[in-house]
Every structure is written in structure tokens, then in C-alpha cells.
Amino acid sequence: MKVQKIEAFKAICVVNEATISTIPEKAEQANALIADAVARFGLQVVGPTVFQYTNMSQDMSIPFTLTIALPIANAEAYEGDLTIHAYEQISAVTSHYAGPIKDLAAKGYDPMMGYIKQNGLTMIDDCREVYHRWDGPEADTNDIELQIGVE
């Protein structure tokens, strides 16, 4: 776990209002739309899928903004209805989590929150999950990089 700079990138995105329980459905729909756009417009993928969470509260039943993004190099080639977003560089506490989604909060995010508090950092409204490997919600082989934006 460490604080590091997350470099700027451009991505093709699907932006949705979501709750924790609707993430799987929203992700499946978004990933299909993005895959179709990549194929139709010949987009050059330059990184793994990123889930960005904004406008979240402590109450996980309250809807938040879920942006599912795929970094691309040739954003100018896209002329469809999805969003192209230019992500700015941020500082973030980062950590890797390996395992099933059911343990992500306790084994991934909870230690990061302790680190943030212990080091006197302030969170910004930008939390990301970078899916380096996804084998399904129960898989022990999932590899997810967690990034909590801080200042």
C-alpha cells in the first residue's frame, strides 16, 4: 500500500447511476457496449477496464455514479454515443486485491481506509478499481488494483 501518482489517460466510458447491488448488471451492459465500440471503430486499447466511483456516501444503499472506462489511445477515432473522458493525473492510495468480490471491502478497502486515516490524508471524490484480471465474482484469481484519490 502506498501513495502514488496515477497518470492521466483517455477512455471510452459508460456512466450510470448505481448501487452496490446493481454493479454486476451495469458492468455487464457497459462492457458489452464498450466492446462493440472498440470493434466498430477500431479503437486501440491501452489498459485494463477501470470502474470509477464518485458521489458515494457512507450509506451503500444510496445511489452513486459508476463510470466504467476502458483506456484507449485513439479517442479521436470514436464517433458514437458513448462518452470519451480525459482523466487527469491524481494522487491515490493504491493497493492490489486478489480474490472474490465478497471479500473486497474487508480485505481491500478497510486496510486502505486505516492507512489514509493513520497518515492524515484527505480523500477526494474519486475511487477506482482497475481490473487487471477478472475471472468471475467468486474467483480467487481476480487481480484488482484499488485506487482511492487523496490530497
Distance CA 146, CA 94 (A): 5
Residue 110 banded pLDDT, cuts 50, 70, 90 = very high
**Type and span of the H or E element at 5:** strand 2-6
Q: Which domain holds residue 123?
A: 2-150
Compute the mean pLDDT over every residue in the chain, rounded to the nearest whole number: 96
Query: Considering its fold, how many domains does the chain have in total?
Result: 1
Tell me the CATH number at 111.
Answer: 3.20.80.10
Smallest CA-to-CA distance from 10 within 75, 62, 57 is with 75
Residue 92 banded pLDDT, cuts 50, 70, 90 = very high
Where does 28-150 show beta strands of DSSP type E? Answer: 50-54, 64-71, 83-87, 90-98, 123-133, 143-150
Please report the pLDDT score of residue 58 as a whole number. 76
Q: What is the mean pLDDT of residues 85-111?
A: 96
Distance CA 22, CA 63 (A): 10
pLDDT 10s digits, 116-136: 999 999 999 999 999 999 999
Q: Which residues contact 148 (CB under 8 A, 6 or more apart)?
A: 92, 93, 94, 109, 112, 113, 116, 123, 126, 127
